[in-house]
Every structure is written in C-alpha cells, then in structure tokens.
C-alpha cells in the first residue's frame, strides 16, 4: 500500500478505535460500582488517553492558515507533543496500575505520585501566591503528610527488601523535593509476587521505550520534535509537503493507534469488570489491529 492510502487507513483506524474505546467506557461506567480514589485516577487517565488520540485525529486532517488559501496543511510538529503525552500517560498507567499485583501496591505507588505532584505546588514562595493559591498549597502540604503516613503503613504490610524501603523513604522525605515527573514501579521476584525492588523510571527509559514503541530512544525523538530545540527547528521543514511528510504522519498515526490499543488492553488487566465490555468489541478491535499491522 502506498503512503497516501496507508495514512488514510490509519486515520480511519484511529477514528474507529477512539469510538470503540468511548463506547466501551460508557457501557462499563454505567454499571460500575462506587470507585476508590485509585480507580478514579485510572478512569481519568483512560479518558485523557481517548481525548489525546481524538485530538491527533482531528489535527491529522490538516489546518488552513487563511480562508482563501488553497489546500490544507498537516502539522506534524504540533501533533508530536500530543503523541508524546500519550506515551507519558501509557508509561505512567503501566507503572502504577498494570504492573501492580494488588491494591496495596497500587495505593503505595499512587501516594508516591501524589506527593511528587503536590511538591510542584508546595515549593512556590509565599509572595507569588494569592490567598486562594496559598490555601491550595496548604492543602497540598497536608495531603502529602497523610500520604506519607499511608505509605509507611503500606510498606509495613508489604514484603520487600530494606533497600527498596530506603529508596521509598528517600522519595517521600519532605526535605528532598523531586518535582520532575517520573514513573514509580515495583519489581517482583520471578518465582513469586514478592517485591524485589523499587525504581523510579524516567520517561526516556530505554527499556520502556522498547516495550511501548519498539524503539529505545522514542521519547528523545518525540522531545526533539516537541521543543523549539536546535533539532526540532532544523528538521521542521522536513515534515511538510514535498519533503518527508508521509513518513512523519505515518509514524504519528501508527503510534497513536498502538498506544490507544495498548492502554485498553492494560486497563482490562487492571479492571476485571471492564473485560466483558471489551470482549464484546474484541473482534472489531482485532480487525483494526490487523489493518494497522498491514499498513
């Protein structure tokens, strides 16, 4: 299949997959029991993933700079940041939800993530905050204290080596702020579900890049096209007509489809109650997956 038809088919696949994902979520949500905080976070990630994919589909249709202009210009340089955020969201979901063996592990990782996020607010100086923001910062500090207590209680209940406990204590130390977003993950023994280690993974982690995209340096590639860096600006014109437009558009659409499908599959593993709704659409999903692989 030539690149033009391949891109057309990928756009169709992304649109169909987004519609299926939305329908499954609506059917599941109607029947869902009251959710825990952890479940709410997972569902929010699900919806964010869906919206990002749909945004890429809309942007792939191209833009018109002025109404009188003939032709529509696709803009891969604007789609890359959204694709990168899909990768980040899948990365975090896999770390916190898909790789966890039980609710206690999930709550531990979620609380670590919460502390890390709140640190971005607690570090803002007084003089830069209005009254409402100052109150939010105070609430964030209190929330972090509760999270630290819960983390220590969970550590006591879970079986893990002292080295892993020490790493977690370092992360939650209030005197050490690590605002940079990372994925937290518990590693397990091969022969059992016992925890063997704890690790904080950067989005540029080569192993995760290989797992999610077949490319260990995929995050660096996304970043190069997302920031006004030397490489991003230098290669800007390569993305547009008469250059390498088809190459970039095909990559963006392929990865968008794959991330969406991967997220759905891992959501199934996390939520057993979701599986029957997924199974109802599995034949259509498999057909889309086959179409993507052929493209």
pLDDT category at 242 given cuts 50, 70, 90 is low
Q: With 60 as the cut, is the pLDDT of residue 243 above it? A: no
Q: With 80 as the cut, is the pLDDT of residue 55 above it? A: yes
Higher pLDDT, 133 or 267: 267
Q: What is the pTM of this model?
A: 0.89
Interval 186-207: pLDDT, tens: 999 988 888 999 998 999 999 9
pLDDT at 129: 67
Higher pLDDT, 39 or 179: 39
Q: Measured between alpha carbons, how far is 107 from 266 in angstroms, rounded to an integer? A: 18
pLDDT at 67: 77
pLDDT at 266: 92
pLDDT at 187: 93
pLDDT at 56: 96
């Amino acid at each position: 299949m030539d690149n033009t038809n391949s891109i057309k088919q990928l756009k169709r696949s992304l649109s169909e997959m987004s519609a299926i994902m939305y329908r499954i979520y609506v059917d599941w949500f109607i029947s869902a029991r009251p959710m825990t905080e952890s479940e709410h976070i997972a569902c929010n990630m699900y919806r964010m993933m869906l919206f990002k994919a749909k945004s890429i589909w809309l942007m792939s249709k191209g833009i018109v700079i002025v109404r009188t202009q003939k032709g529509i210009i696709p803009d891969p340089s604007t789609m890359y940041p959204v694709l990168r955020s899909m990768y980040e969201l899948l990365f975090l979901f896999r770390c916190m939800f898909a790789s966890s063996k039980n609710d206690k592990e999930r709550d531990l990782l979620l609380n670590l993530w919460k502390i890390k996020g709140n640190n971005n607010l607690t570090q803002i100086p007084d003089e830069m905050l209005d009254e409402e923001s100052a109150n939010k910062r105070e609430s964030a500090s209190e929330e972090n204290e509760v999270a630290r207590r819960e983390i220590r209680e969970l550590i006591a209940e879970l079986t893990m080596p002292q080295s892993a406990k020490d790493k977690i204590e370092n992360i939650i130390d209030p005197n050490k702020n690590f605002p940079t977003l990372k994925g937290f993950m518990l590693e397990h023994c091969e022969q059992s579900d016992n925890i063997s280690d704890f690790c904080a993974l950067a989005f540029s982690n080569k192993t995760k890049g290989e797992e999610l995209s077949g490319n260990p340096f995929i995050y660096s590639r996304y970043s190069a096209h997302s920031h006004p860096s030397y490489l991003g600006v230098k290669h800007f014109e390569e993305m547009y007509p008469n250059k390498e437009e088809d190459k970039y558009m095909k990559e963006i659409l392929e990865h968008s489809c794959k991330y969406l499908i991967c997220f759905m599959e891992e959501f199934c593993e996390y939520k057993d109650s979701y599986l029957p709704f997924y199974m109802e659409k599995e034949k259509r999903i498999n057909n889309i997956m086959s179409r993507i692989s052929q493209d």
